[in-house]
C-alpha cells in the first residue's frame, strides 16, 4: 500500500504533532452520564467551515453534514440525538489528509481539498460507512473504561463490523484501535483529546488516523 511507502519520518512527525495539539475540553461528569448534548452539536460549535488547523475536526464535520444532506435517514443522524448513548472515535483533519494521500497518491494542501478529493474518490456511501465504523452505539465509554478494556471487541454502527481495543500502556494512555484493514497502520487514541463531551450520553475520543472498515 502507498501508506507504507510514505516516509516514516513524515508519518512520525504527523503523529507527534497530533499528540502535541491542544487538548480538547471536557466537562465534569458522574459515573452515569445524563447530559443530552449531542456530538453533532459539539462538532458544529465552532461553525462548519474549513480552516488551517489540521488538528480539529472540520473534515469530519463536513463529512457528517454531507451524508445527512444526501441521505437524511442515514443512521449517521444518531449523532444529532443526544438522548442516545454512544461512543465515537473522531479522526482529526490530518488523519483524513493521510487517508487521502494513501488512496490517491497525492497530498492535498488544504482541508477543503482533502474533503473534496475524498468525496470524489470514494463517494457518499463509502463516507457513510466509514463514519458509522467510528461509532459504537449503546455505550458511553469514557477513557477510564477504555484503558481497562484491553482485548475488547467493540461492535460498531456499521453492521457486522467491529474494532478491537489494544491497550499498550494504561499509564501513558496509549491505546491502539485495530480495524479491518490489516495492511495499514491502526489508529491510536490521542491522549490529549479524550472524553470529549464528557458528562453526556454521547462521548467521543480523538484518534490519530482513520479507522478502515475494509482493506483499502
Rounded to whole angstroms, the Cα distance separating 210 from 130 reads 8
Angle at which helix 111-122 crosses helix 93-104, to 10 degrees, equals 50
C-alpha cell at 54: 489540521
pLDDT at 138: 96
Q: What is the pTM assigned to this prediction?
A: 0.85
pLDDT at 32: 77
C-alpha cell at 121: 474518490
Stretches in the chain below the pLDDT threshold 50? 1-30
In the block, residue with C-alpha cell 465515537: 88
All domains of the chain in start order, with CATH = 2-20+34-208 (2.30.180.10)
pLDDT at 31: 61
pLDDT at 215: 80
H-helix or E-strand spanning residue 136: strand 135-137
Amino acid at each position: 500500500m502507498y501508506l507504507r511507502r510514505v516516509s516514516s519520518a513524515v508519518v512520525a512527525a504527523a503523529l507527534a504533532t497530533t499528540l502535541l495539539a491542544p487538548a480538547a475540553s471536557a466537562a465534569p461528569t458522574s459515573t452515569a452520564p445524563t447530559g443530552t448534548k449531542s456530538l453533532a452539536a459539539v462538532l458544529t460549535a465552532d461553525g462548519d467551515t474549513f480552516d488551517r488547523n489540521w488538528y480539529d475536526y472540520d473534515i469530519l464535520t463536513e463529512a457528517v453534514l454531507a451524508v445527512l444532506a444526501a441521505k437524511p435517514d442515514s443512521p449517521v443522524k444518531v449523532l444529532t440525538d443526544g438522548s442516545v448513548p454512544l461512543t465515537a472515535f473522531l479522526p482529526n483533519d490530518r488523519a483524513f489528509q493521510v487517508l487521502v494521500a494513501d488512496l490517491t497518491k497525492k497530498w492535498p494542501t488544504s482541508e477543503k481539498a482533502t474533503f473534496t478529493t475524498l468525496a470524489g474518490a470514494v463517494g457518499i456511501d463509502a463516507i457513510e460507512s466509514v463514519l458509522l465504523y467510528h461509532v459504537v452505539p449503546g455505550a458511553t465509554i469514557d477513557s477510564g473504561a477504555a484503558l481497562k478494556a484491553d482485548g475488547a471487541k467493540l461492535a460498531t454502527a456499521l453492521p457486522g463490523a467491529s474494532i478491537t481495543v489494544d491497550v499498550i500502556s494504561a499509564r501513558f494512555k496509549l491505546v491502539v484501535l485495530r480495524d479491518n484493514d490489516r495492511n495499514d497502520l491502526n489508529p491510536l487514541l490521542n491522549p490529549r483529546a479524550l472524553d470529549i463531551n464528557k458528562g453526556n450520553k454521547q462521548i467521543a475520543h480523538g484518534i490519530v488516523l482513520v479507522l478502515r472498515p475494509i482493506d483499502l
